[in-house]
Structure 1
Amino acid sequence: MRRALRDNGLSLFFLALFALALAGQSIAGFFRNNSELLDHGMPAIGFGEFVTSSDFLVDVAENWQSEFLQFFLFIAATIWLVQRGSPESKKPGDEGPGDDADQRIGAHADPRSPRWARVGGWRTVVYGNSLLIVMGAIFLLSWLAQSLGGLVVMNEENAMHGTAAITWLDYVVSPDFWDRTLQNWQSEFLAVGSMVAFSIYLRQRGSAESKPVGVPHHVSALESE
């Protein structure tokens, strides 16, 4: 058990933080939502009703889709684009998906390689792009959930103000939808770009996301090995 906790410490740490943050968001959102209902002369709702509501769904999905879009684009961009000196990038000259030998696939795989990396054909192609596929799929599903939840919320607000309901297509091209969406996207892109740039010149001793402290600025972590 102790070894399993050590070997999976990073994943478990962030999973625990995620669960705590989601629980905190649900509790804070529950009290905020009921406060707004009471301000409008409407009855409060139960916690279970709130966490299954469109209000809660849209807030959660809105953040998820921007995070997974960030990683989807970063994974895709780092195939072909480089940043000299950043540990978040391959070294200049290594752009592209690499050859079979570099990737240890097909005839170049060893017995410990994942099965789909060894068998070749479409399975190796799918497995070779599986991280990008999964990140993209989660982004699209989260984006869809956000748009559907946001549509329900907007139509509820329209009903309260005596205006007509709108369709899903009307909502996803509305300023309200893109205002909420782009607020999240721009912060994610800034965070990734800052990490790439700052890691050229700044260090954190002992972190896998940083070059060794004494490595020159223009040298990537891979070049220093």
Structure 2
Amino acid sequence: MSPSRSKQTFFYRNGLSIVFTSLFVLTLIAQAVTGWHENNAERKQDKVEPISFTTYLQSGHFISATFENFESEFLQMALYVILTIKLRQIGSAESKSLDEPEDVDKEPEPHKDAPWAVKKGGWILKLYEGSLSLTFILLFLVSWYFHLYGSWLDHNDQNAINNQPPDSMTDYLMQANFWFESFQNWQSEFLSIASIVIFTIFLRQKGSPESKPVDAPDMQTGK
């Protein structure tokens, strides 16, 4: 271990993951607590008994709201990882160079510090080469299912309150409500990607790896 590395604290080396994971946990707890109160307020208006917090965590209201957000985030990241392989945007810090070769396009070569999959080669290496996008796609599909499942449970809870028969999951999938929930989240994620791709052409943030150097020309593509 180098002397400089040995003097670095654990937080210094892992600050981004620690902060964002902590923010995720805190906001998920806040969502659960506020969603529980909101759901019980709605139940009170419908003149039905409130539910406990532990029961709420198993309810369609909580499951749907949680995985609806996960779904759109993982879809955004999957498409971003895949589309940036081939697509370019002149001047954007988020784009690969228009004509210069990139390190990420080089064929992997085994060496002492290479990941195990690179040293193994064969189909394991092929799988590893696309593991990032495959993981995001899998997480999107799992989140999409649980969003559907939670939204369906919540829909049938409302049907029971209104003395209406339950719908099957297939019937519910054909209704507009689930897709409205999905599209309103998807479009916001696509807007956020388009914003950072376009804004990094003309705007800068000193010290951020998501920005070009402050003195870089607007039409410089990549960081």
What residue number does 2:3 align with? none
Q: Which residue of 2 aligns with 1:40?
A: 46
* Distance in 2, Cα, partners of 1:95 & 1:150: 46
> Residue in 2 aligned with 1:82?
88
Residue 127 of structure 1 pairs with residue 133 of structure 2:
no
Distance 1:136 1:38, change over 3 A: same
Aligned twin of 1:61:
67
The Cα shift of 1:49 comes to 1.1
1:169 match: secondary structure: helix
Task: Tell me what 2:98 maps to.
Answer: 92
Distance in 2 of aligned mates of 1:215 and 1:137:
38
Note if contact 1:80-1:95 (Cα within 8 Å) is conserved in structure 2. no
2:96 and 2:102 in contact (8 A); partners too: no
Q: Deviations over 1:49-99 (max 9, x none)?
A: 111212100000000000000000000000110111111110113699965
Please, which runs of 5 or more residues in structure 1 have no aligned partner?
none
Residue equivalent to 1:23: 29
Whole-angstrom distance in 1 between the partners of 2:8 and 2:71: 34
C-alpha separation in 1, matches of 2:104 and 2:214: 29
What are the ranges of 5 or more consecutive residues in structure 2 without an aligned counterpart?
A: 1-6
Q: Deviations over 1:118-157 (max 9, x none)?
A: 2211100111111001101010000000101111111221
- Cα drift, residue 45 of structure 1: 1.3
Q: Which has the higher contact order (CA 8 A, sep 6+)?
A: 2
- Distance (whole Å) between structure 2 residues aligned to residue 123 and residue 161 of structure 1: 54
Count of matched residue pairs: 217
Q: Distance in 2 between matches of 1:154 and 1:97?
A: 49
Structure-to-structure mapping, 1:143-222, within 5 angstroms: 143-222=144-223
The CA distance in 1 between the partners of 2:100 and 2:64, in whole Å, is 40
CA contact (8 A) 2:46 2:161 kept: no
In the alignment, what sits opposite 1:52? Answer: 58
Letter in 2 for 1:13: V
Task: Quote the Cα distance in structure 1 between the aligned partners of 2:161 and 2:25.
Answer: 34
| TM-score (norm: length of structure 2) | 0.92
Aligned partner letter, 1:18: F
Are 1:212 and 1:221, in contact at CA under 8 Å, matched by a contact in 2?
no
CA deviations 1:15-55 (Å, max 9, x no partner) are 01101111111111111111111222212111111112121
Give the structure 1 partner of residue 20 of structure 2: 14
Q: Secondary structure at the match of 2:9?
A: helix
